[in-house]
Amino acid sequence: MDWPHIAREMADDLATDAVEREQAGKPPLEEVARLRESGLLTLLAPAELGGGGADWRTACTVVRTVAAADGAIGHLLGNHYFLSYSPRFFAGPARAARMERESAAGQWCWGGGIASHEPPLILTPSADGCLLDGYQRYAAGVGIADRLVVRAARYGTGEPLAVLVDATRPGVVSGTVGDTFGRRLAAGGGVEFDSVPVAADDVFGSLSPDEGVLSPFASLAAPTARLVSVQFCLGVAEGLLSEVREYGRAVRSPWQPFSAQPWPVGAPQDPNALTAFGELAVVARAASALADQAVEALMHGLAQGEDLDGEECAEIAVLASVAEAAASRAAQEITTRALDVIGADAASSRHGFDRFWRDARTHTLREPVAPRLREVGDYFLNGAHPPFTLPG
């Protein structure tokens, strides 16, 4: 399958009514149906298990392409890819294969979140497995997901575990969805669990950051999740640049004096606009190059499997942090400064340019860049391995 081509077709489809859908703010049921119909939801599942058989290099391209057209749906899809892949990191080969086979057959959309900054849910042993209780403040895709992967603490020991939950189970109650000013169609929000039954086989392995608990391969979950964040940021930044470029080619620059001879339609803009576009293109391409380097390192690490050692895992994690810091800054700078090229007309709601800024800013508030920079600095100065932390 030509997944990048399918992603471009999906992006073109989403772009046709992206502004109207975002302003309406309805749950993205139709958008998920489009993803399901395209086959993109099963992209990462092995072909022998009924999936698309693609790799993370392809998945990153797909997320970035979709995010450029609709940031919220790109974010939803990226989280789905990471969470649906997480059994390979934490559940072991046999259980991961079972889950991926069932997911591909049912074309599940995965949501949830296993970030350490969420208050832990409580997992209590029961006669038939376990019971899950508690409230998670934010879970990706909670409004539309078929399955949720959440972080829970084992009762009595407090050990953090990843847990798979059927979102249709009695006791799973979604809270407020879509109340942020950005990523409004990502269906993220709070979710409550009230004595929700969980089969023993749906309890993954440990998420403990303590040294020696996770193998280097399992620890690749952190840079994998961070590279999903990177693709979202780059997609949103590149999406706005593309729209502003088309607008700027057809409309007089706000910096061009009205007394001057108008530029012909399609001709180069005045030097100020050219400089602005040049600077932003440099920012975007530099962040993109770092992202590509980090993705290639991740691909090499995943290919090694359990033969991966701790030092190699640390290098991959640092490269992912570098890429996330650069992409986060690029998204914030581009979605702010690109609107200056347009001027006052960029504030018009009919263009929907503001959705790119709001999507990027909502994401970067949840995923601040400072911790990534500290990790990179500590590794550079002291050779310290980055701690195992997962983004929200």
Q: In the CATH scheme, what is the homologous superfamily, with its name and number, of domain 111-206?
A: Butyryl-CoA Dehydrogenase, subunit A, domain 2 (2.40.110.10)
Tell me which of 22-26, 116-120, 224-228, 323-327 is least confident: 116-120
User: Which amino acid type is present at position 103?
Assistant: S
pLDDT reading at 287 higher than 80: yes
CATH 1.10.540.10 intervals, the chain: 3-109
Does the domain at 216-382 match CATH 1.20.140.10? Answer given as: yes
pLDDT tens digit sequence for 288-321: 999 999 999 999 999 999 999 999 999 999 999 9
Q: What share of the chain is helix, strand, coil (3-state, %, to 5)?
A: 55, 15, 30
pLDDT tens, residue by residue, 231-279 = 999 999 999 999 888 776 666 555 555 444 544 544 556 788 888 889 9
Q: Map residue 108 onto helix, strand or coil.
A: coil
**Fold topology of 3-109:** Butyryl-Coa Dehydrogenase, subunit A; domain 1 (1.10.540)
Closest Cα to residue 132, out of 147, 117, 118, 121? 121
For residue range 316-338, what is the model confidence (pLDDT) as tens digits?
A: 999 999 999 999 999 999 999 88
Flag whether pLDDT at 63 surpasses 80: yes
Q: Is the pLDDT of residue 190 over 70?
A: yes
Which residues of the chain form CATH 1.20.140.10?
216-382
Residue extent(s) of CATH 2.40.110.10 domains in the chain: 111-206
32-51 pLDDT, tens digit per residue, is 999 999 999 999 999 999 99
pTM of the model: 0.92
